[in-house]
Structure 1
Amino acid sequence: MTEGWSQYKLRRLYIVWVCRELQSFYWFADLLCSLHHKLWQENCPDYLNIRLYLSNTSDLQHLCEERYQALRSRLVIGRPKWKLLFDEIGRTNQNKRVGVFCCGPRGMSQALHTLCNSNQHTHTTFEFNTETFC
């Protein structure tokens, strides 16, 4: 566990996955569907908040398979409107700390870091963390 985070209890997990092609998240889609099903069985359906963004729609019909049913309603065509997402998460988590973990291109990482430090989210503290492989 990352030092400094051990005293926090995870109450909700927001997963925002952005990719160009559907093929890029098939492996992750299976994991998300499995986790979603497990949380429903444990009567914790609100614990996991999934948002999927797809910018290329050429293979969209493949997501209609039964095994991806839990993800279909969470798929948005296009890119995330980060400020709106942060505002929503900030309103939902007032007076709390929200950890933001980014693994992606530098431009996206910089945009998220700026939003975390903008102090526009009343009574919510966003703590930015990043991982890059470039």
Structure 2
Amino acid sequence: MSQVFVSAVIPTRYGDVELYGYIDELVRDTVYDIKTTSKYDFGKYEHGWQRHVYPYCLIASSQMESVKAFEYTAYQMKGGTSRTPLISGTQYPEYYTYNHEQTVKLLTAHCEHFIEFLEANRDIISDKKIFGLE
């Protein structure tokens, strides 16, 4: 399935946080996210949160019972200029085994730290929609 919208709530000590996004490809029990880049080094997306958020949402929303893995499929692109109009690329997969228990801990901590950052900087944040005030 392509472009699958996922959404789920994760409880934190500050209240519930909704996580959501669009999965590029979902094949059986593996989530795929497609990236394009002009320069690729292995591990480029290792710290990306999509590899945690999307599988978490699938399981927490009961869309799936389990997720085996998440793969970033990166395409290093060349061309597309007036001198070299043909676009070509090399494919680089980054495969990550999914661990739901570990992800719950990581996402909870990340959301709580972000909430703490927002609260600590409330007086200098000009967009009040962030706090549900507009």
TM-score normalised by structure 2 residue count: 0.29
- Report which of the two has the higher share of helix: 1
Q: TM-score, normalised by structure 1?
A: 0.29
Larger Rg, first or second structure (1 or 2): 2
